[in-house]
Structure 1
Amino acid sequence: MKNKKNYLALFLVVLFSIFIFTACSKNTKTENVNATEGQEVGEASAISTEELKQNIGKEDWVVVDTRINDAFNGWQLDGVKRGGHIKGATDFAAAWLKVSDPDKEEKLEKILSDKGIIAEKNIVLYDANGNDAKELADYLASKGYKNLYAYNVKEWASDDNLPMESYPNYSMLVPATWINDLIKSNNNGLPYKVFEVSWGEVSEEYNKGHIPSAVHINTDEVEEGPIWNRKSADQLEQFALNNGITTDTTTVLYGSDTMAASRVAVILKYMGVKDVRILNGGYSAWVNAGYNVETTVNKKTPVDAFGTTVPANPNYIVDLPTAKEILADKEKSILVDIRSWDEYIGKTSGYDYITGKGRPSGSKWGHDIMDYKNIDTTMRNADEIIDMWKEWNITTDQRLSFFCGTGWRAAEVLLYADVMGLQNISLYDGGWNEWSSDAQNPIETGEPNNK
């Protein structure tokens, strides 16, 4: 009887041990995105570096960078050893889930579809801050996605043998944190300026709140009607002096409308300012990052000399004669139209002060500016931009000159092309406004017979 009791006790001990072991090893959900291999992350299971290496590039797998756009482009953020993204990854920033837009859900659905982030695939979501991957995983799980995996890119970036990609000139587009650090450090004593750019002597948006130390630039300071081309070299130099800008001044531009800031940025690069930066995503990126704003109206602080002859980079902006040369060189050069489809085919001029409709004969449609932006107005994935161009036989080895109506939309695309590292690129300043004003310039309307 005693032996039976011993056996029964031993059996109960073993049974209890099995229960405890099973409960501890069960695949439960955890809030720790930095989980070690074998744990799970929110709605996603952790995946090892070796497993990721084995599956990246397969048709039934998609790797998604969930960090902010700047990290994908090339910035080293959140302690990552190397900037940029895992080679072969696409992007879907968790920040996009917080964008205020009445059509957000519809837009997010389209983005997921366009990027191949579909429920039938195995989806690896990676971040570096312990939050982004979980947020996107939970969102996708709520939509019925099941095959979700989480990964911390710090491990990948720490191994120099594993491929990562950055845009050659990613530093032209800066995150809000970079501007905040610039201001806090006073650029280590080197000259710098921060400007809010918009049209008008008085900017209501500037007065409501702006980045500390920022000065307002009215776009009328750099362009004038009726064509709205850039001003003369002498006038532009005076503009720079009035605003305290020299060729060696680190110049940061932003606005609620990134096109206005891009317009001035392109002109400054044309003039010869060596270090021109744009806040990626515009003023909302600063506000969403939680940084302080001020309402003090900061005055312009003039300087006496610009430091070089204007323009120091004359080929960055071209005029009508060069635009005609580009159109004539059909094999190696393309005049790329950055207007809406309706403007391109001549359904509308797009402007109340432009009467002509159509496009310069031989120009190709490069898509409207909104097709170059993510839902939070940051720069779109460069691979997707290149794919858009391929539809129209626009390739990155050609000489590309971008134009729109008066230079704003095309200026932003030119900067993105510059960020991507493209060579032999320019802005056709006069654009459709100038081209359509002369009846001698050949014009096409309707859908083109071939691309």
Structure 2
Amino acid sequence: MKKSIFVFACVFLTLFLISGTILAEAQIGEIVESDDMILIDSRSPYSYNGWAIDGKAGGHIPGAVLFSSKWLKNLETNQAIKDELKRFEIAQDKELYVYGDNSEVLVNKLNELGYNSSQIEVDLKEYNDLAKMENFEMLVPPSWLNEKIKADQVFVLEASWGDEAEYLKGHISGSIHINTDAIEEGPIWNRKSDREIIKALGQHGINKEQTVVVYSVADTTPAARLASILKYAGVDDVRILDGNLTAWKAAGYELKTKKVEVEPVEFGAKKAENPEYIIDLKKAKEVYNNQNADFIDVRSPEEFRGETTGYDYIPKAGRIKGAIYGYGGKNAYDMSDYRNPDNTMVSYTFMESRWLDQEIKPENHNNFYCGTGWRASEVWFYALALGWDNVSVYDGGWFEWSENKQPVIKE
């Protein structure tokens, strides 16, 4: 009986595909619920996450897997495409049904590579329950940022470690450069004191009531590090340009080369207003003994196993005893586990599913750590975007923990 129903559903679906009729929710449901089929959304990560762009519906059909047709430009070889498909568990032995922008381009490539894929049409405006990342507005598309800059409704910061050399080669209109040395200091590279942070933010023209958008030239970690400090200090509305300057340029928006001078302002607070967002060693020791709290290691597998420290200035290898591996990248300077091929945040449904598989629980107090704090800040920001509210960055990370005779393990 079940086989007959399945065959009927497939035939019914095929008739819809051949006729070119827009599929109704019931037919889409057959695809999502089947173990032998995969529904693919070929639109941009921005649209998938929830942004309504160019008058089109934001969000995605529940159960759809993100694989943007635009990523084909980022993946230079057929093998790279196959590797990325495998990463998102899009298998060759499944029937693939693709909807969204340029879906025909993606279907043609998939079929060329030996996959069994078909293009389908769906009217997303007819759906009442499109899935969206809970706080998708925290990661903004270039089009939104461009509109807000024109309306003078955002304060834009370019973050990097070091001088303004890259900034002066080309930056987003109106953006201010900030060297991360203004907010953190060695040798552990923890944040500076609240007084120093608030003073530095004010000197860069930042008031806590502003909507602040942060970006980096390419790597997200400098932007995320600054974003975490801004949220910690008390800026409520902090966002990151998803994909950074690379995305801005890919969207065709112009760059400026003249330095933007800024008038210092009062930040609007005397001390950090959200101290729970970033914890230091003293608090980390308390958290360690809390059964409802976890340390989430977002370094490379080699760092987690204790095969390398990842940095020439961190002498000891290993991990915090009891820490859960939360993925990271290939090395200390790579966060590819959290990035799409276009360097935007990896599909949030994929990210959350992997966390749950690792028994990282949203109801617990999750403390993200890396070597010192940059990578952890990126993942922490994504967790907030997902709606995981009880999250912190352990500022000193493995470097501080390992140098202070705390419980560690090395495989």
TM-score of the superposed pair, with normalisation by structure 1 = 0.82
For 2:269, which of 294, 308, 314 is the aligned residue? 308
Partner of 1:144: 114
Matched-pair contact (CA < 8 Å) for 1:337–1:365: yes
Aligned-residue offset at 1:117: 2.6
Moved more, 389-398 or 272-281: 389-398
Alignment of 1:43-192 (within 5 A): 47-49=22-24, 50-81=26-57, 83-99=58-74, 104-127=77-100, 131-152=101-122, 155-160=123-128, 163-187=129-153, 192=154
For 2:232, which of 263, 270, 275 is the aligned residue? 270
**Structure 1 CA distance for aligned equivalents of residues 41 and 175 of structure 2:** 32
Matched-pair contact (CA < 8 Å) for 2:380–2:393: yes
- The answer on 1:422 being equivalent to 2:388 is yes
**Structure 2 CA distance for aligned equivalents of residues 62 and 404 of structure 1:** 35
Q: Deviations over 1:149-189 (max 9, x none)?
A: 2224xx233342xx2111111100000111111112222xx
The alignment partner of 1:402 has SS state of strand
Q: Deviations over 1:294-345 (max 9, x none)?
A: 1111123211x2223421111011111221222222x311011111111111
Matched-pair contact (CA < 8 Å) for 1:157–1:164: no
**Structure 2 CA distance for aligned equivalents of residues 341 and 67 of structure 1:** 31
Aligned-residue offset at 1:56: 2.6
Aligned-residue offset at 1:409: 0.2
Alignment of 1:15-414 (within 5 A): 47-49=22-24, 50-81=26-57, 83-99=58-74, 104-127=77-100, 131-152=101-122, 155-160=123-128, 163-187=129-153, 192-202=154-164, 204-255=165-216, 256-303=218-265, 305-329=266-290, 331-368=291-328, 369-414=335-380
Task: Look up the equivalent residue of 1:352 and give its one-letter code.
Answer: D
Aligned-residue offset at 1:119: 3.8
The structure having more radius of gyration, on CA atoms, is 1
Aligned-residue offset at 1:199: 0.7
Matched-pair contact (CA < 8 Å) for 1:198–1:257: no
Moved more, 416-425 or 366-375: 366-375
Aligned-residue offset at 1:111: 2.3
Matched-pair contact (CA < 8 Å) for 1:46–1:149: no
Aligned-residue offset at 1:64: 1.0
Q: 1:287 to 1:347 in 2, by over 3 A?
A: same
The alignment partner of 2:120 has SS state of strand
Query: Across the two proteins, how many residue pairs are aligned to each other?
Result: 388
**Structure 2 CA distance for aligned equivalents of residues 421 and 404 of structure 1:** 21
The alignment partner of 1:165 has SS state of coil
What fraction of aligned residue pairs are identical, expressed as a percent?
Answer: 39
**Structure 2 CA distance for aligned equivalents of residues 209 and 395 of structure 1:** 41
Moved more, 375-384 or 61-70: 375-384
Partner of 2:410: 445
**Structure 2 CA distance for aligned equivalents of residues 215 and 265 of structure 1:** 14
Q: 1:432 to 1:38 in 2, by over 3 A?
A: closer
**Structure 2 CA distance for aligned equivalents of residues 113 and 46 of structure 1:** 30
**Structure 1 CA distance for aligned equivalents of residues 72 and 316 of structure 2:** 41
Q: Deviations over 1:194-222 (max 9, x none)?
A: 111111123x3212211111111101011
**Structure 2 CA distance for aligned equivalents of residues 242 and 114 of structure 1:** 44
Task: Look up the equivalent residue of 1:442 and give its one-letter code.
Answer: P
Aligned-residue offset at 1:443: 1.8
The alignment partner of 1:164 has SS state of coil
Q: 1:148 to 1:362 in 2, by over 3 A?
A: same
**Structure 1 CA distance for aligned equivalents of residues 45 and 170 of structure 2:** 24
Unaligned runs of 5+ in 1: 1-36, 447-451
Matched-pair contact (CA < 8 Å) for 1:327–1:363: no
Q: Deviations over 1:42-83 (max 9, x none)?
A: xxx6652253244332112211111111111111113224x2
**Structure 2 CA distance for aligned equivalents of residues 116 and 391 of structure 1:** 14
Task: Look up the equivalent residue of 1:364 and give its one-letter code.
Answer: I
Task: Look up the equivalent residue of 2:151 and give its one-letter code.
Answer: S
**Structure 2 CA distance for aligned equivalents of residues 220 and 46 of structure 1:** 57
Aligned-residue offset at 1:141: 2.4
TM-score of the superposed pair, with normalisation by structure 2 = 0.90
Task: Look up the equivalent residue of 1:108 and give its one-letter code.
Answer: I
Matched-pair contact (CA < 8 Å) for 2:110–2:117: no
Q: 1:123 to 1:343 in 2, by over 3 A?
A: same
Task: Look up the equivalent residue of 1:138 and give its one-letter code.
Answer: N
**Structure 1 CA distance for aligned equivalents of residues 244 and 78 of structure 2:** 22
Matched-pair contact (CA < 8 Å) for 1:403–1:427: yes
**Structure 1 CA distance for aligned equivalents of residues 390 and 270 of structure 2:** 21
**Structure 1 CA distance for aligned equivalents of residues 32 and 301 of structure 2:** 36
**Structure 1 CA distance for aligned equivalents of residues 397 and 248 of structure 2:** 32
Aligned-residue offset at 1:347: 1.1
